[in-house]
A and B are shown apart, each in its own frame.
Chain A
Amino acid sequence: MHWLHLALAVVFEIAVALSAGKAQGFTRPAWTTATLVSGGVATYLLSRALLTFDVGVGYALWTSVAGVGIVVLGAGLFGQRLGWRKLLGIAAVIAGVVGLQLSGAA
């Protein structure tokens, strides 16, 4: 259940990044509201996940997987280039998540 909470928290954190980008320094009310609402939902789901995960581990997983999601979504939806630098970062995050899981730390 905690992995599901974490995964959903990641989805809403990606929504935070996308809407914060469109809020243009929080000058646009609709996107600012979207940022705050998705941030609230993401925070609640993260807090549920952290009932099981260690805080440092759960937080790092959440922010990093969301970071990967933002870049992958940027490439898929907005046609941003996915060069070797980004792929290297994505590979490191995946390796770290798998390593944490295999070492039993997550």
Chain B
Amino acid sequence: MSVDTATATAPASATTAERQDVAAPSDRARAWLVLLLAGAFEVGYALAVGGSEGFTVLSWSLVAVVFFLLTLYALSVALRTIDVGIGYAVWAGIGAVGAALLSPVVFDETLSAAKALWLAVIIAGVVWLKLADRPERPDDSDRAAHPAHP
């Protein structure tokens, strides 16, 4: 909320003219909860796909299909409210970090320091990429250039 001193003499009614269409706080909280769930489903999907052994193990294969549908559905619901770039970034980040941390727990794998380091670089890269892959917001730079308090 910034007040331009040049328009301070304008009628008070003008200040309410430009109100953004923002979802109610409870809707946003719910969307974020669904997004976190989608991330958790994506971790489950990654682990189940690995456990399916090329879809030769029936139980893991079925779990993989269920998680695939769940993660897709939850993500699409969350992205109705949350910005697509931010939503994808959080979802992809949770999925990749979760899979990297949990696959050594679930399977006979090790997470060496070198592996963890390079995985962190890759995951940071893709999260950054998802965040960068959205329309520029000119009002953000404008706000930074013109602080609210003169």
Contact = CB atoms under 8 A, between A and B. Distances in A.
B68 A64 contact: no
Interface in B30-84: 45-47, 49-55, 64, 68, 72, 76, 80
Given A55-B46, A64-B122, A100-B115, A88 B100 contact: no
**What is the interface residue range for chain A against chain B?**
35 or more
A58 B103 CA distance: 11
19 contacts: A39-B68, A39-B72, A43-B64, A47-B54, A50-B54, A51-B53, A54-B103, A54-B104, A54-B107, A56-B119, A59-B46, A60-B99, A67-B130, A68-B129, A96-B118, A96-B125, A103-B115, A103-B118, A105-B118
Contacts, number: 146
- Tell which of B96, B101, B126 has the most Cβ of chain A within 10 Å: B126
Contacts of B5: none
Interface of B: 45-47, 49-55, 64, 68, 72, 76, 80, 92, 95-96, 99-104, 106-107, 109, 111-112, 114-115, 117-126, 128-133
A37 interface: no
Nearest to B127: A89
A39 B100 CA distance: 21
A57 B49 contact: no
